[in-house]
């Protein structure tokens, strides 16, 4: 049994998650970082919560418009080669700043982890148009947002939005991946459901190194947002270490992330859920690695098929072998409630990908990407979103993805 599993079992058996969480809070409260810009009189009204402010050293700075301030932080997990922008749910007065940040940071996707209304309280402004008959014109920053389509899945909805720079006429498609079932004052219904959403995010290309950082938000931008980023980063680190859990310290990763934005992971339950999701994701990774190490006769034939991979019979076996070397919120209000988001009733578009439901994810994407994969990433993502049949053949160095069997909490030690 690895250290992380032992740690989880020990904390769970003693019911000491609150104690562990308070220790993390105490350590991070000793960080000597300032929030002077967030607390300036002319910026205070731009913060959704009084006690959730970005640090000066890591805040996102807007480059155009009448203000350079937005309650958003650039969070880096260097060991995992991950960078995220964590921010609060936009206010009516900060929606233009939000979209300006998306444009300037060249963000490919927005990850929304809350609903607009939760427990009869507005937690986020409706900052995107709901239909193709609507468009959002932001004259103060010279941008326009248009709705292209959406596709609902079991626990989330994927939308396509068109962001246009009114001055230059440049256009970009921005994905909006909206997790809709995070319960009020709690955690997702299961690690498998959450991991299915994470897999959809990864497959969209939102976390690729050759695009701008994803914008991740909930209400305050610290609780659910911190949970998502912690799980994703730890799974990347586990994969980079050959699936070994003993080389990844979840609490140390969280403490490192808290150096960029205060209060990440807002409750003991969110911390416990993070461990559960990481352990289940690691088990799925292990299943995939074992399958790859011991493929069946049929799988060996399929993976080496020259017709499928576009390579000669002579080079097929060596390519398959080489591919294995490349494997790589402050208030308690920042929780999701039962309020109904009006966007849930939107008409689905056939252009967007179908959701994965509650199935656990396959092997997470590689930490490192080859130059060939990087050059094709934009067009591959476009094909995925358009729902078009595979226009390209599978790259020679990429083996077939094998989906592991379903895992549930009862499968954990």
Query: Is 192:183 a contact under the CB 8 Å cutoff?
Result: no
203 Cβ contact partners less than 8 Å away, ≥ 6 residues apart: 353, 365, 384
Residue 159 CA, distance from chain mean position:
15
Tokens encoding 199:
């897999």
Query: Is 224:329 a contact under the CB 8 Å cutoff?
Result: yes
Whole-number pLDDT of residue 69: 99
Catalytic sites, residue numbers: 218
State the Cα–Cα distance between residues 282 and 148, nearest whole angstrom.
36
- Domain extent at residue 163: 3-411
Query: Is 273:120 a contact under the CB 8 Å cutoff?
Result: no
Whole-number pLDDT of residue 320: 34
Please count the structural domains in the chain: 1
DSSP 381-408: HHHHHHT----SPPPTTPPPP-PPPP--
134 Cβ contact partners less than 8 Å away, ≥ 6 residues apart: 147
Tokens encoding 310:
């576009």
State the Cα–Cα distance between residues 217 and 210, nearest whole angstrom.
21
State the Cα–Cα distance between residues 306 and 5, nearest whole angstrom.
42
Whole-number pLDDT of residue 224: 96
Whole-number pLDDT of residue 406: 38
State the Cα–Cα distance between residues 77 and 294, nearest whole angstrom.
33
CATH number (domain holding residue 35): 3.90.190.10
Whole-number pLDDT of residue 360: 41
To the nearest 10 degrees (0 to 180), the angle between helices 191-203 and 223-240 is 70
State the Cα–Cα distance between residues 239 and 277, nearest whole angstrom.
14
Query: Parallel, antiparallel, or unpaired for β 109-112 and 215-217?
Result: parallel
Kindly list the averaged pLDDT for each block of 10 residues, start to end, along the chain of length 413: 87 97 97 97 97 98 94 98 98 98 99 95 97 96 98 96 98 98 80 96 97 98 97 96 90 98 97 97 74 47 37 33 36 38 35 40 42 40 37 35 37 41
Query: Is 61:42 a contact under the CB 8 Å cutoff?
Result: no
Q: How close are the terminal C-alpha atoms of the chain, in Å?
A: 9
DSSP H stretches of helix in 130-267: 191-203, 223-240, 250-257
The strand pairing partners of 162, in sequence order, are 146, 173
Which of 298-314 are b and which e, b meaning 16 or more Cβ less than 10 Å from the residue's Cβ?
A: eeeeebbeeeebebeee
Residue 351 CA, distance from chain mean position:
21
Tokens encoding 334:
């920042």
């Amino acid at each position: 049994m690895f250290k992380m599993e032992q740690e989880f079992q020990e904390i769970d058996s003693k019911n000491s998650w609150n104690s562990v969480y308070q220790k993390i809070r105490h350590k991070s409260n000793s960080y000597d970082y300032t929030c002077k810009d967030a607390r300036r009189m002319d910026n205070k009204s731009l913060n959704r919560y009084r006690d959730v402010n970005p640090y000066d050293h890591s805040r996102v700075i807007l480059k155009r418009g009448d203000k350079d301030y937005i309650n958003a932080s650039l969070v880096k997990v260097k060991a995992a080669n991950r960078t995220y922008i964590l921010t609060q749910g936009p206010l009516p007065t900060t929606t233009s700043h939000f979209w300006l940040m998306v444009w300037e940071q060249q963000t490919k996707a927005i990850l929304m982890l809350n609903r607009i209304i939760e427990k009869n309280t507005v937690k986020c402004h409706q900052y995107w148009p709901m239909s193709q008959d609507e468009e959002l014109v932001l004259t103060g920053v010279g941008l326009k947002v248009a709705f292209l389509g959406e596709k609902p899945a079991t626990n989330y909805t994927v939308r396509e939005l068109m962001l246009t720079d009114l001055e230059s006429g440049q256009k970009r498609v921005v994905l909006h991946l909206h997790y809709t079932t995070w319960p009020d004052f709690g955690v997702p219904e299961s690690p498998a459901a959450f991991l299915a959403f994470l897999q959809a995010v990864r497959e969209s290309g939102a976390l690729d190194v050759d695009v701008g950082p994803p914008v991740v938000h909930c209400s305050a931008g610290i609780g659910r947002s911190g949970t998502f980023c912690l799980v994703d980063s730890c799974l990347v680190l586990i994969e980079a270490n050959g699936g070994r859990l003993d080389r990844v310290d979840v609490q140390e990763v969280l403490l490192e992330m808290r150096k960029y934005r205060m209060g990440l992971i807002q409750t003991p339950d969110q911390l416990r859920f993070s461990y559960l999701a990481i352990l289940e994701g690691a088990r799925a990774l292990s299943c995939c690695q074992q399958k790859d190490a011991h493929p069946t006769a049929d799988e060996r034939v399929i993976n080496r098929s020259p017709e499928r991979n576009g390579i000669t019979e002579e080079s097929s076996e060596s390519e398959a072998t080489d591919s294995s070397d490349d494997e790589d919120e402050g208030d308690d209000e920042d929780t999701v409630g039962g309020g109904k988001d009006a966007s849930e009733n939107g008409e689905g578009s056939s252009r967007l990908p179908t959701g994965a439901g509650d199935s656990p994810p396959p092997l997470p994407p590689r930490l490192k990407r080859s130059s060939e994969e990087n050059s094709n990433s934009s067009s591959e993502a476009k094909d995925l979103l358009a729902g078009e049949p595979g226009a390209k053949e599978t790259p020679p160095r990429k083996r077939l993805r094998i989906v592991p069997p379903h895992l549930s909490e009862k499968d954990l030690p």
